[in-house]
Structure formats: structure tokens, C-alpha cells
Amino acid sequence: MKMKNFGTLMAAAILGSLLTIGSFQLFDKNENPIRIEHVEGIPALKASYTGDVNSVPLDFTAASEKVMNSVVHITNTKNESRFTQNSQIPDQLRDFFGPYFRDDRRPSGPRVASGSGVIINDQGYIVTNNHVVNDADELEVTLHDNRTFKAKVIGTDPTTDVAVIKIEEKGLPYLTFTDSNNARVGQWVLAVGNPFNLNSTVTAGIISAKARNIGIIGDSTSIESFIQTDAAVNPGNSGGALVDLNGDLVGINTAIASPTGSYSGYSFAIPSNIVSKVVEDLISYGVVQRGWLGVTIQTVSSPLVKENDLAVNEGAYVVGLADNSGAKDVGIKKGDVIIKIDDIDVENTANLIGYVGSKRPGDKVNLKVNRNGKEIDYQVLLKNRDGNTEIVEKKNIEKLTVLGADLEELDSKTLKKLGIESGVLVKSLRPGKIRKYTDMREGFIITKIDGQKVKSKEDVEKILDNKEGGILLEGIYGNGSGTYYYGLGV
């Protein structure tokens, strides 16, 4: 049956709520004030479609024009060489190897990569991804008006893939952070960046999901609680803006899920609340101050519910607790299910990790747990990983991050089996000097640094403390292949 007089399906209405902008001042290492702004409150935006095919249900132009001026193109130039195990050994140590030394460095020329960034205040501070600026020998920023500037790195956080860089220019247009906790599935968003070097590209989509953990950062301490969207994002969009229709920053575009390497329908952004906190810490302290709940958790699933006879179907199941943690201090137990933190419902582990990742040591959070069907409320003091609430100094963090190695101490039984007196295991490698300048593999056991025996991570830190110039790492792989030497500059 053919319908006549179809008429209007729905009336279009756009309602806006008043917004207030909150601002605060940070201080850089020279105690200079730095202003960054946030939106307090979310615009109430409702849109509906009409039967008139000539009508435009949504208008993205105002937000696009606002955002494009604040999104930059970042070029990362790396002057790379290919190295073997003896490469990059400091000149003062080369005689150690005598006539048998082979310097197998083979220049391969500069390698250029590009990404995007977002200007966050008028003093030239820009937020982007850590992987966009990582290991750069030179960073160049191109503004929307085609002006170019050299940039310096203010700080990086590999655990969230966030970095802050700065150019020497003032009076720049910038974006304001909005509260990503208020972002809703189904909400319209725009992705702005420079895919395939196509500057100032805007795509539109909706928020498809929140609190996604896709395991892309690959660090045991990583914080992944991504906003998933269907706005088209491609290589080059990394570090660009994800904004609401008011043009305020909801997240920083970071990754895509794709079998081809190009957009296939899914893209992921770091929520603005995590980005904002990391930015504040990097500018103020030079290193991220990470709040630590002190629990090992697992997302509640149907098998887990049956196995442990749980009374809830969603939440973060407590597998274990650290001895010096705030969670253990207040009485949270193994087997509890965390179902709420402050006013945020905990649906999975990424939900909880993402929220705690926006906090610092010394902050307090309210937890609601389900224990055998009974709900119990706790207030937990977040600590750092040392079990206190002190500010972590940058110099204490950089000692090992400069190498890019996660180290693990070996017990006496393992040492005896390997036939060595001491050593520390390179459990995993992250971006850093070792990966950049050597071909060291995970599983290497460092027995000596500059001829000094190492028995613990503390020994490594002590040797690296205030170390300048080059170092020589000596060790074995435990497969009987002999002693290896890796030299690099720090």
C-alpha cells in the first residue's frame, strides 16, 4: 500500500544550556603561570530529522571552523642508523675491545613521520600522542595558517600515550577541555587531524562505546580506557582532536582497529579527563603523578559469576591487593566486586582504571563494592606505588625510562642455574635508548654496567644517577651463546 501525505516525521529542535568556563593556572619548572581552560557543564543538544529532504538536521560548520585553527600538523624527523650489538659504544670504551672490535653502524638516513596535535593554550603548549613525538631528533609544527615552528618536548607519558610539546609563539587559538565522563554513547563528535598528510581534515561520527581496552600500548602499567567512535580516523590523525558539537575537546585520537592499517569503522581516543590530568602533571612536575588503588582486578564475566557465585553481572572483581595499598588499608577484600567509584558506575576494569588514572596520590575516592550480595561503601586514599602520597620526582623516574627497559630481579636459584653471581633481567623493552641504539632483545640479563656488578634495579638506578656520556651494558641471554656488550649514550 502506497502512503500519501507523508508529512513531517519529526520537528527539529535544538536546545542549548548555559556553559561556564573554568580555568586554572599551572606553573612550569620556572614558576611561570600557565593557563588552561575547561568547560564546566555539558551543552544539552537535541537534534531530530524532518521529512523535508532539503533540510539539514545538523550543522558541523561552526565547530569545524573553531577546531581547525587549533589543530596542528607535527613532523617527526629521526636520523637513524642500523646497529649491531657492539654499535654506539662510547669512544672512551672502544679500546676495551682491541683489534677485534667491529663497528657495524650503517647509516640509513633520516626517517620522517607525521601526526597531529592540539593547541591547549595561547602560550604554545600542544598535546599530542607519545608515539607521534617519540625518539624525535627534530620536531616541526605547522599551524593551520601554514606557519611552521620548531618544537621541544615538555614531557611524555608512555602509559597513556600522551605527550606535551611547546612552540615559541603566543596568542594562538586553542581548545578547551570538556568533561569526558559526561560523554554519552550515541553523541555526535568530530575528529580533526591530518590523515595521510591531508591537513585540517574533519570527519563526523558518534561515540560508539566508552572505556575500551584494546591492548595497544603494550605496557604493564598502561592506562587504556578509550572512547570508541565511528568517525573516520587514519594514519596521521594520531594526536588530533575529538570534539563535541560545541568544539570542546572530548579526547585525543590515538588508534584504529583495522586489518588493513587504514580506517575500517573503528577509532579510539584518549578521554579528555585523562589527557587533562597528564598534561597538568607533565607541565607542573615533569612526570605524571599516578594515583594507585592497589588492587589486581578482572572484569566480571558470565564464567566468573558462575565460578565464584557472584551476586552481580558487571564490575571489577578483586583478584588481589597490595600490602601497602589504600584499598587494603580500608578493608577491601579479595573476592569483592567494585561496582561504583564516586558517581561513576564500574562496568569493567577499563572503566575503573581510566577513572583512577585521572587522579593523583593523596586524592580520595569513594568505592561501592558488592560482597556476597551486600553493598558496602569505602573511602580510599590513593597512594603512589611506593605506598605513600609524596610527589614523585622526575629524576627518580627518568633513570630507567631513559633506557626504556622494565627490569626484574633474579633469585639465587636462577642465578646459580645460569652460572652467574648477579644480574637483572630485561623483562620488556619500551621506547628508549636501548631500543633506539642497540639490537638488544627481551630476556637479556644485565650482569655489569661500566664494569660494575648489578644485583638489583636499585643498583642500575644508582649507576645511572647523574651519569653523562656513554655506558656499557654487559650480560648474557642464558642460552649459552656467550657474553654480549651493548654500548649507548645517555
What are the structural domains, with CATH classification, of the chain? 59-87+105-288 (2.40.10.120), 295-381 (2.30.42.10), 394-489 (2.30.42.10)
CB 372 within 8 A of CB 308: no
How far apart are alpha carbons 321 and 328 in whole angstroms?
A: 6
Rounded CA Rg of the chain: 25
Q: Dihedral, CA atoms, 254, 258, 259, 265, nearest 10 degrees?
A: -170
Q: Where are the beta strands (DSSP E) in 48-197?
A: 71-82, 106-119, 125-128, 138-142, 148-157, 162-167, 188-193
Cell numbers for 448, please give them. 655489569
How far apart are alpha carbons 195 and 473 in whole angstroms?
A: 40
How far apart are alpha carbons 1 and 81 in whole angstroms?
A: 72
Per-residue pLDDT of the chain (490 residues; tens, 9 = 90+): 333 333 333 333 323 333 334 555 666 666 677 777 766 654 444 443 344 445 446 889 999 999 999 999 999 998 765 444 444 444 544 444 344 344 444 555 678 889 999 999 999 999 999 999 988 889 999 999 999 999 999 999 988 999 999 999 999 999 999 999 999 999 999 999 999 888 889 999 999 999 998 877 765 567 888 999 999 999 999 999 999 999 999 999 998 877 787 788 889 999 999 999 999 999 988 888 889 999 999 999 999 999 999 999 999 999 999 888 999 999 999 999 999 999 999 999 998 998 998 899 999 999 999 999 999 999 999 998 778 888 777 655 556 667 778 788 888 888 988 889 899 999 877 767 787 788 899 899 999 998 889 988 888 888 887 677 778 899 999 887 889 999 887 6
- Predicted pLDDT of residue 197: 85
- Predicted pLDDT of residue 261: 77
Residue of 238, 267, 276, 325 marked active site: 238
Establish whether 161 is a catalytic residue. Answer: yes
- Predicted pLDDT of residue 31: 67
Establish whether 38 is a catalytic residue. Answer: no
Rounded to 5 degrees, what angle do the CA atoms 430, 360, 162 make?
40
Residue of 70, 87, 114, 131 marked active site: 131
Residue of 64, 116, 161, 325 marked active site: 161
Q: Which residue has the cell 575537546?
A: 249
Q: Where are the beta strands (DSSP E) in 261-392?
A: 267-271, 295-299, 316-321, 337-341, 344-345, 364-371, 374-381
How far apart are alpha carbons 426 and 445 in whole angstroms?
A: 6
